[in-house]
Structure 1
Amino acid sequence: MSFNNLDTLYRQVIMDHYKHPRNRGFVEGDALTVDMNNPTCGDRIQLQLKIDDGIVTDAKFEGEGCSISMSSASMMTQAVKGKKIDQAMKMSELFSQMMLGEDVDTEEFDLEDIEALQGVTKFPARIKCATLAWKAMEKGVHDE
């Protein structure tokens, strides 16, 4: 597949998550809740994680922002469901490395749609948009 076709595919994946977000809404019952925003562009998110016995059993978000931030939140909530907290945090670390343009070993975790966000590294001002939901998860877990 040529670079242009791959770039188009990635854009389509991002727009699909933006227009049809997965896990948008609120977790029923008790949940770890984190509110974060990106004051430079106005993105904001409320992330909720339901954690039972060290496993993320549910993850949802509400918020407003650009296609990058909302798509990333959709992808992240899909990716961490069913994962142990330490696995979810490792995924967040890998995602941060990917956003910094570093090569990441994706063998341990299948990043699925998340890989579509690799192109964000070409636009440094958008990296904070892509990492907002991930940073919210990290903050919530560390504060808990």
Structure 2
Amino acid sequence: MSFNNLDALYRQVIMDHYKNPRNKGQLENGTLTIDMNNPTCGDRIHLTMNVEDGIVKAAKFEGEGCSISMASASMMTQIIKGKEIQTALKLSEVFSDMMQGKDYDDSIDLGDIEALQGVSKFPARIKCATLAWKAMEKGLKE
């Protein structure tokens, strides 16, 4: 697949998550609630998660922001559900490395998240993409 076709596919995946977000809303009985914002661009996220026996049983988000921020939150909530805390934190580490343009552990299946790889070329947008992930890390580490 040519670079232009791949780039177009990635844009479609991002826009699909933005227009049809997965796990949008709030968990009524969330065991963890995290609010974060990016004051430089106005992105906000309210993340709720249910964590039981060291496993992220459920995750939902509400918020406002650009397509990158909201799509990333949608993708993140999808991939961490059912994962052990350490696995979710490892995914966040891999995502952070990818956003910074570093070599990352590509043996881990990131699924739709790979569509955000191009964001690393736009430093001002990296904070948009990582907001939900930082909220998840904060919640799981506290």
Gaps in structure 2 of 5+ consecutive residues: none
What is aligned with 1:139? Answer: 138
Q: Which amino acid aligns with 1:138?
A: E
User: What number of residue pairs does the alignment pair up?
Assistant: 142
Runs of 5+ unmatched residues, structure 1: none
Query: After TM superposition, what 4+ stretches of structure 1 lie above 4 angstroms from structure 2?
Result: none
Q: Distance in 2 between matches of 1:141 and 1:77?
A: 13
Q: CA RMSD in A?
A: 0.7
In the other structure, the counterpart of 1:64 is: 64
How far, CA to CA, are the matches of 1:121 and 1:92 in structure 2?
15
Matches within 5 A, 1:12-91: 12-91=12-91
1:50 and 1:30 map into 2 onto residues whose CA distance is: 5
Cα displacement (A) at 1:28: 2.7
Matches of 1:88 and 1:46 in 2, distance apart? 18
CA distance in 1 between partners of 2:92 and 2:118 (Å):
17
Distance in 2 between residues matched to 1:116 and 1:35, nearest whole Å: 25
Deviation of 1:105 after TM superposition, in Å, equals: 1.5
Give the AA of the match of 1:45: I
| CA distance 1:4–1:57, shift in 2 (3 Å) | same
CA deviation vs aligned residue, 1:18-43 (integer Å, no higher than 9, x gap): 00000000113142000000000000
CA contact (8 A) 2:30 2:48 kept: no
TM-score (norm 1): 0.97
Equivalent-residue separation in structure 2 for 1:24 and 1:105 (angstroms): 28
Residue equivalent to 2:110: 111
Q: Displacement of 1:140 after TM fit?
A: 1.1
**Cα distance between partner residues in 2 of 1:27 and 1:134:** 18
2:44 aligns to what SS in structure 1? strand
Identical pairs, percent: 73
The change in CA–CA distance for 1:37 and 1:5 in structure 2 (over 3 A counts) is same
Q: Residues 44-77 of structure 1: CA distance to partner in whole angstroms, max 9, x if unpaired?
A: 0001110010000000000000000000000000
> What's 1:7 paired with?
7
